[in-house]
Structure 1
Amino acid sequence: MNQYYLYILIKNGISELSAIIEYPKLRQQQIEEWDLDDLQTVEGWIALAKKVIHQSNCPDLIKKPICKKCSYYNFCYATESDSNGIN
């Protein structure tokens, strides 16, 4: 997913990219390099997102334990009742 940010930079005229993703709490770094194969991957993500956006109905809700900690939790579960086991 980090490749998306590199994609945006390339689309704005910046080339020969690499990025360092820092995780301060973990005291780790990850180096991301741009590869020409990444172009197709990222454009596939964008096409999929556009497909979802233009659907007449929302996609089915995927309930995963990690959702409870997500910043978008309230957005995804806005119409769900508390009786479904997810709080």
Structure 2
Amino acid sequence: MKEAPPTPDDEFLRKRSVVIAGHATSISLEDIFWHLLKDLAEQREQSLASLITEIDSQRRVNLSSALRVFVLKSVLADKQGEREDRL
């Protein structure tokens, strides 16, 4: 995964509208999570909306939390893979 360079705005919440199952949904996430979600969607050759819809269909908590957890797990898995590649 590409590392998003830190910016002064990373901690600020940004609200975006995404269509999930035909309904516009507003999601608030910090900028860093939006950047990383976009990178993950590109890696998976998906649109951002498609990735969010996939996460939404499997979530057990609120959508913003599910997205943050998905990003964190993806970053940790990527880091674990990098460590294993070095061994």
TM score, norm. by length of structure 2: 0.33
Structure of larger gyration radius: 1
Structure showing the higher strand proportion among its residues:
2
TM score, norm. by length of structure 1: 0.33
